[in-house]
Amino acid sequence: MRVGGPARQLITARTAEEVVDAVREADAAGTPLLVLGGGSNVVVADEGFPGTVVRIADRGVTVESADACGGVHVRVAAGEVWDDVVARAVAEGWSGIEALSGIPGSVGATPVQNVGAYGQEVAQTVAKVRTWDREEGRIRTLFAADCGFSYRHSVLKESMQVSGQFTPRYVVLEVTFALRPTGLSRPIGYADLARGLDVAVGERVPLADARAAVLEQRRRRGMVLEEGDHDTWSCGSFFTNPVLSAPEFEVLTRRAAERLGPDGPVPPQFPSAEGSVKTSAAWLIDKAGFAKGHGLPGPAALSTKHTLAITNRGQAGARDVLALAREVRVGVQEAFGVTLVNEPVLVGLAL
């Protein structure tokens, strides 16, 4: 987003051992700690970070096994660029992460918030995550069942208290993915993507076709960074899609009818965990009166391509981004009684 102040100390860790040493040293000294991957899903306060930032920059992709029966198991260092790994998987004919093409950031961040898009989540392919457990002071491997994956969440995202600072307990060092050597995508589960591919939902297509279609969808929404396009100066979707109980969704539906008319549009609903309903944050923002480009010509504005993206128009600070986020959140709350939750990590900031 190109906002935020400096770190008091920055350590670039190029091996897993350097990551562990830097984290242990900061924790032993009681120093505030921020573990940073690609930084694409972070908004830092204009005042900066008053502690140690450990930037994970280790590299390495190891194919542990690859056969038609057992599938492909690939162990990837946390500092690898995520989209480079997706591109290799597509080129090698490994299915399972092709719909996650174009997502910025590093591999280590993907299981933390269970990165997902276009009908796929990394939870579907993560086999295990090698971590540094800051609470127990040891290397610990978490298998997929240990990770507690849910919509944009995992136990890796949960926090611990260290010298008054609430920061993640686990620092991701490596992720092992279980992929399938099919050459064809997983069944296309997203309607817009299926239309772009001219196939029915549920069909499979060559991996390269799936990747190209996903990247096209992301570009149309301003979700692929282009230096001269301020619509892409964002951290992607600023709010997660609300997951509501059945009674809460009934209230939303009633308030939507009151606001938009009994014959007006109804809130979208998608399958979610048992007894809950997921709806669209973008729909709520738009129907609450915040159109694409809202905030222009201010320093921060909603993208002209996607209402879920809060963008830096070139001169914004973190305070401008948060002011717009609050305006949108309050507007949606007043219109529909739903409180939106930020998707990026806010460092030194709070909505």
* DSSP-derived 3-state class of residue 128: strand
172 with 129: CB under 8 angstroms? yes
11 with 55: CB under 8 angstroms? yes
Name the phi and psi angles at 116, rounded to 5. -150, 155
- Residue tagged active-site, from 152, 169, 211, 218: 152
- Is 237 a known active-site residue? yes
Q: Could you tell me which residues come within 8 angstroms of residue 182 by beta carbon, excluding any fewer than 6 positions away? A: 93, 95
Name the phi and psi angles at 78, rounded to 5. -60, -30
Distance CA 320, CA 318 (A): 5
First to last CA, the chain: 17
231 with 273: CB under 8 angstroms? no
Name the phi and psi angles at 135, rounded to 5. -75, -40
Residue type at position 46: D
Name the phi and psi angles at 160, rounded to 5. -130, 160
Specify the length of the chain in residues: 351
- Residue tagged active-site, from 95, 234, 237, 303: 237
Name the phi and psi angles at 42, rounded to 5. -130, 135
- Is 313 a known active-site residue? no
User: Which two structure tokens, joined as six digits, stand for 164?
Assistant: 């008054």
- Residue tagged active-site, from 18, 92, 248, 343: 343
115 with 100: CB under 8 angstroms? yes
Catalytic residues: 152, 237, 343
